[in-house]
Amino acid sequence: MLPASWGTSVLSLDPRRLLGLAFASADLLLEVETGQVILALGAAQRIMGQDERTLMGRAWRDLFTPIDRPLVDSVTTALSDGFRRGPITVRMAGEPPRHVSLTLRALPENGGRISVSVTSAPAPTAGLDADGLRGRENFEDIARGLFEAARVTGLELELAMIEFAGLGSVREQLSPREVQALDIRLAGAVRAESHAGGMATRLSPDRFALVRTRDDHSEDMAQRLTRATAIQASAHVVPLDGGTSARGLRALRYALDDFLREGLKDTPPLTLSEAMNRSVKRTLSRAGALGVAVSQRRFTLAYQPVVDLTSGLAHHHEALVRFEDGGSPFQLIRMAEEFDLIEELDHAIAEQAVKRLASDRAGTLKLAVNVSGRTIVNETFVSHIASLLTQHDMAKGRLIFEITETSAIDDLPRANRHIQGLRGLGSLVCLDDFGAGASSFAYLQELSLDIVKIDGRYVRELADNGRDGAMVRRLVELCRDLKIRTVAEMVETAEVEDVVRRAGVDFAQGWLFGKPADQPQPALKVASSVTPAARRAGVSEGWG
């Protein structure tokens, strides 16, 4: 039986107490009716940059940036009496940039009025496209982080797959402008179902993935999406095998790739949920097979010449890993990083390279091996190399390490100490794919290096004399001032070779000089008798 004081307390509640209860979880309260703000109470100036009187009478959706209006529209139109949606994070219209978190509730039996609680919110992390959706890689990284945080906090999240039936046919009947408007509306509707309105990505023209709070059935979500877009939507929650184990979460990125590649090819056709779950199983199986291949050294090395542009001879060869199953080395190395296999792989490749150098009795061969950003911060790598060189003395001074940016270096001072340790062992150290990552110039500033390899995308621009080409020329000048030599990769024509030589680049690598081979081969050279037209076409005697 309830205490008598409870009844008295409830009966004595007045509007001011109710307002106090509301403000306990919000800084600003809005009431919206027929698309207009009809009431504003609280810290409007601080939260939205406008006073309460200015807000009242404004069109509700116009308070927000155009990219977020479809999201706000979808959340608003999908509300049912007495139900709550949110919180979602959106940006206010105008400057300076202001982000707010909105929680909306349809007031029961109140003529369609919506009550909105508003609080300040931090800006979402970068990685949004023009529709407000996340790029695939950004989505996958943040999704894994959210799931891992949810394991600690108890927040119930799930991955969901969305598909809009017949979307391709609908697009074919629309003008380009109408297609653009449709895509924006679809993106807003999908974002409205995602965690904080910011955890959705486009997988293909008619498929989306999102992370959401587990609060209702997928059928309810599909109905809201259909209502918001006027296109039949299906929604399926995707259970990751093993729950949200660390290994299952790491499989997310590759499972999405596998899902897009394989789709619903199985017979009989699978649901989206079944297909995605099968993709996770395939991914975990591949990760296990990769682990076995690394531990049992079931891979080979291929060698591609890196040419000294002064002499035209191979200065050294890059040792590139090749797996027995013929899978893409890039994808497998990416997987190795994700599943904590990359350090073991880097150690194994270095072992193979040192043994190959030791078997070269002429003592002229030099090899470059790739080292992940994750590996270079681990001091065991330097001690491992020191041990290898002690066992194989002939390899000293003939080993080059290329630090890759596939995995960001999170401790530059530590990485630099280890780089200096490798240099102290007589090895050169190169920063690979300069320009491919956002941190390249920070690396150049913080790390003491011998060589910088310029990303192939920028090398190709050199021949066109474009903006990126100008950047490469300035980079070469900077490296020369720092006494750092440069390598241009993806040099595939005589024209590009001539341009990089004139830009002052020291070394070049690409199919013009030779493709990766099972054994180190001399560099191919462009004969001086070749006509200018043939040089431009990249054709000479002795190679094609």
Share of the chain above pLDDT 90, in %: 36
Predicted confidence band at 534 (pLDDT cuts at 50, 70, 90)? very low
Question: For residue 5, is pLDDT > 60?
Answer: no
3-state secondary structure of 134: strand
Give the tens place of pLDDT for each residue, 314-369: 999 999 999 887 766 777 887 787 777 889 999 999 999 999 999 998 899 999 99
Q: Which of 297, 141, 276, 165 is nearest to 222 (CA)?
A: 165
Neighbours of 531 (CB within 10 A): 10
Q: What is the pLDDT of residue 107?
A: 74
Q: What is the pLDDT of residue 291?
A: 81
Name the residue with higher pLDDT: 163 or 3.
Answer: 163
488 strand-pairing partners? 454, 508
Name the residue with higher pLDDT: 469 or 62.
Answer: 62
What is the C-alpha separation between 346 and 451, in angstroms, rounded? 20
Q: What is the pLDDT of residue 541?
A: 29
Predicted confidence band at 540 (pLDDT cuts at 50, 70, 90)? very low
Query: To 10 degrees, what angle do helices 246-262 and 329-338 make?
Result: 150
Q: What is the pLDDT of residue 236?
A: 77
Domains of the chain: 17-120 (3.30.450.20), 136-287 (3.30.70.270), 298-537 (3.20.20.450)
What is the C-alpha separation between 137 and 95, in angstroms, rounded? 29
Q: What is the pLDDT of residue 366?
A: 97
Predicted confidence band at 471 (pLDDT cuts at 50, 70, 90)? confident
> In the chain, what are the helix, strand and coil shares in percent, each to the nearest 5?
45, 20, 35
Q: Which residues 6+ apart lie within 8 Å of 330 measured at CB?
A: none
Helices (H), 359-411: 373-376, 379-391
What is the C-alpha separation between 5 and 502, in angstroms, rounded? 90
Q: Taking residues 467-485, what's their average pLDDT?
A: 83
Lowest-confidence pick of 186-200, 234-248, 412-426, 437-451: 234-248
Name the residue with higher pLDDT: 265 or 418.
Answer: 418
Contacts 24+ apart (CB under 8 A), 527-530: 530/494
Q: Which of 360, 431, 426 is nearest to 396 (CA)?
A: 426
Q: What is the pLDDT of residue 265?
A: 59
Name the residue with higher pLDDT: 265 or 40.
Answer: 40
Q: Taking residues 489-506, what's their average pLDDT?
A: 89
Q: Taking residues 465-480, what's their average pLDDT?
A: 78
Q: What is the pLDDT of residue 253?
A: 66
Task: Report whether 460 contacts 506 (CB < 8 A).
Answer: no
Q: Taking residues 284-293, what's their average pLDDT?
A: 78
Omega of the bond leading into 268 within 30 degrees of 0 (cis): yes
Question: For residue 241, is pLDDT > 50?
Answer: no
Q: What is the pLDDT of residue 405?
A: 67
Q: What is the pLDDT of residue 543?
A: 27
What is the C-alpha separation between 372 and 406, in angstroms, rounded? 7
Name the residue with higher pLDDT: 469 or 181.
Answer: 181
Lowest-confidence pick of 168-177, 212-221, 309-318: 212-221
Lowest-confidence pick of 298-312, 456-470, 515-529: 456-470
Question: For residue 537, is pLDDT > 60?
Answer: no
Predicted confidence band at 528 (pLDDT cuts at 50, 70, 90)? very low
When the pLDDT of each residue in the chain is averaged and rounded to a whole number, the result is 81
Query: To 10 degrees, what angle do helices 218-229 and 176-192 make?
Result: 150
Question: For residue 63, is pLDDT > 50?
Answer: yes
What is the C-alpha separation between 346 and 252, in angstroms, rounded? 24
Q: What is the pLDDT of residue 23?
A: 54
Predicted confidence band at 162 (pLDDT cuts at 50, 70, 90)? confident
Q: What is the pLDDT of residue 522?
A: 92
Give CA separation, 29 vs 21, 87, 117, 218, 289, in Å. Answer: 11, 14, 5, 30, 56
Q: What is the pTM of this model?
A: 0.59
Q: What is the pLDDT of residue 314?
A: 94
Question: For residue 529, is pLDDT > 50?
Answer: no
Question: For residue 10, is pLDDT > 50?
Answer: no
What is the C-alpha separation between 129 and 201, in angstroms, rounded? 9
Q: Taking residues 175-203, what's their average pLDDT?
A: 91
Q: What is the pLDDT of residue 99?
A: 93
User: Amino acid letter at 448?
Assistant: S
Question: For residue 466, is pLDDT > 50?
Answer: yes
Question: For residue 515, is pLDDT > 90?
Answer: yes
Lowest-confidence pick of 1-15, 320-334, 406-420, 483-497: 1-15
Lowest-confidence pick of 49-63, 69-83, 453-467: 453-467
Q: What is the number of alpha carbons within 13 Å of residue 190 lying toward its C-beta?
A: 31
Q: What is the pLDDT of residue 302?
A: 95
Give the tens place of pLDDT for each residue, 297-327: 889 999 999 999 999 999 999 999 998 877 6
Name the residue with higher pLDDT: 438 or 524.
Answer: 524
Quote the radius of gyration of the chain (alpha carbons, Å): 29
Question: For residue 12, is pLDDT > 60?
Answer: no
Q: What is the pLDDT of residue 243?
A: 45
Name the residue with higher pLDDT: 401 or 42.
Answer: 401
Question: For residue 201, is pLDDT > 70?
Answer: yes
Q: What is the pLDDT of residue 24?
A: 57
